[in-house]
């Protein structure tokens, strides 16, 4: 019985340390969201320019979707851009999707050389599932300069 109380204290302290580390990591993840979105925008712009794509992401949009992607407005365009990753057979394929004002996916663009090589091996039906999920999520995103006049996506 004498060894039980010190062992219980040791385990409680260990669990407290683990809980504190998880809490700190969660707070850092939450409070650095805007910084991570800006960083992702810069990296995506560099990738698009290296692929000789004329699109340039202008600003992140304040919308948190259920997925792991980020919404951006496109410079000098009335469309949106969604940066996300397709997971297939343990491989992450970074992609972007251009979204029309009607909320439809115009094009899915693989971001980078590796993504261009891998995207050809992904079945089109699998990519269409991602496109439909993006279109469903686009219903809650307000386009810049039009949210007040149109109430979001509709024209």
98 touches 79 (CB < 8 A): yes
pLDDT tens across 57-78, in order? 988 887 655 567 888 989 888 8
pLDDT tens across 77-98, in order? 888 999 999 887 788 899 999 9
Beta strands per DSSP E along 27-90: 57-60, 70-74, 80-88
Domain spans of the chain, in order of start: 1-31, 33-150
pTM: 0.76
Give CA 131 to chain center in angstroms.
14
């Amino acid at each position: 019985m004498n060894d039980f109380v010190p062992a219980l204290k040791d385990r409680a302290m260990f669990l407290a340390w683990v809980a504190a580390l998880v809490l700190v990591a969660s707070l850092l993840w939450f409070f650095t969201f805007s910084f991570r979105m800006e960083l992702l925008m810069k990296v995506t712009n560099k990738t698009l320019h290296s692929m000789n794509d004329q699109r340039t992401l202008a600003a992140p949009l304040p919308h948190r979707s259920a997925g792991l992607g980020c919404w951006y407005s496109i410079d000098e365009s009335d469309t949106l851009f969604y940066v996300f990753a397709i997971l297939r057979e343990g491989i992450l394929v970074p992609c972007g999707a251009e979204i029309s004002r009607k909320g439809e996916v115009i094009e899915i663009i693989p971001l980078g050389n590796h993504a261009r090589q891998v995207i050809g091996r992904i079945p089109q039906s699998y990519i269409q599932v991602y496109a439909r999920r993006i279109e469903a999520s686009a219903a809650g995103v307000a386009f810049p300069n039009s949210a007040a006049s149109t109430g979001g996506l509709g024209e």
